[in-house]
Amino acid sequence: MARMLTTPQRFAKARALIEEARRVPVPEEGGRFDLSYVARVRGLLQDARDLVKFLSYSVGASPETKAAVKELFAETERVQAELLKK
């Protein structure tokens, strides 16, 4: 069975996924409208959101953790707009 990730590990992994989405190369054919590019970027950003989405609902979640989750969600939206809506 896989071991559970701690909260800091989840945030670190989510940020790494966001950076990986930024590094996905834009294909020459189709550019930003290439379906495989869009799917890969959106998938990575969704994985980042999925890692932290329930942290703010946990019993021991501090206000700082809840704020960090909101910030990460905002960052994923910002990156998605930056990468896909140009």
In contact, 72 and 19? CB cutoff 8 Å:
no
Spatial separation of the C-alpha atoms in residues 16 and 68, rounded to whole Å: 15
What was the pLDDT predicted at 31? 86
Closest CA to 24 of 36, 12, 14, 15: 36
Per-residue confidence at 1, pLDDT binned at 50, 70, 90? low
**67 closest CA partner among 79, 55, 50:** 55
Say what percent of the chain tops pLDDT 70: 97
Which residues 6+ apart lie within 8 Å of 38 measured at CB?
Answer: 32, 84
42-83 residue pLDDT tens:
999 999 999 999 998 888 889 999 999 999 999 999 999 999
- What local confidence, expressed as pLDDT, does residue 32 receive? 87
* Cβ-contact 55, 14 below 8 angstroms: no
